[in-house]
Amino acid sequence: MKVSSLDENKDWRFGRGRASYIAKAEAVRQNVATRVRSFTNDWFLDTTANIDWLTILGARNTQTTIEREVERVILTTVGVARIDNLESIVTRKDRKITIIAKITTVYDTQFTEEIGVGL
């Protein structure tokens, strides 16, 4: 698998030829983070994809819902074999969440990704 890499502002990199792309486990890592950060209705080809952050982030008693949604999105990301550990830290007052996921890829590689989402 190859995908266009993102810069520090989460924008696609262009103009560097092959250096603008990443592959295998690094591509899986980036896709996981991008998909978890994406809101429902963000992708016009599938408006039900991703997570309805506007509804669940900041609402009461949604910790289990949030974790299930994050698991669903991660496990349906191409290249993910399994989630080895998943933690979430929710700051309801600021409507922010930090997700720490330890993931094994189909490339027999493990990585831990910290993903921040805020409204």
Evaluate whether 94 touches 15 at the Cβ level (below 8 Å).
no
pLDDT tens by residue, 79-89:
999 999 999 99
Q: Tens digits of per-residue pLDDT, 6-26?
A: 888 887 877 777 778 889 999
pLDDT digits (tens, 9 = 90+) for 96-106: 899 999 999 99
Q: Which residue has the tokens 């698991």?
A: 71
pLDDT, position 57? 84
Task: State how far the Cα of 53 lies from the Cα of 44, in Å rounded to an integer.
Answer: 17
List the CATH code of the domain at 2-118: 3.10.450.40
pLDDT of 109 strictly over 80? yes
3-class DSSP state of 21 = strand
Give residue-wise pLDDT tens across range 45-85.
888 888 999 888 878 888 899 999 999 999 999 999 999 99
* Average pLDDT of every residue of the chain: 89
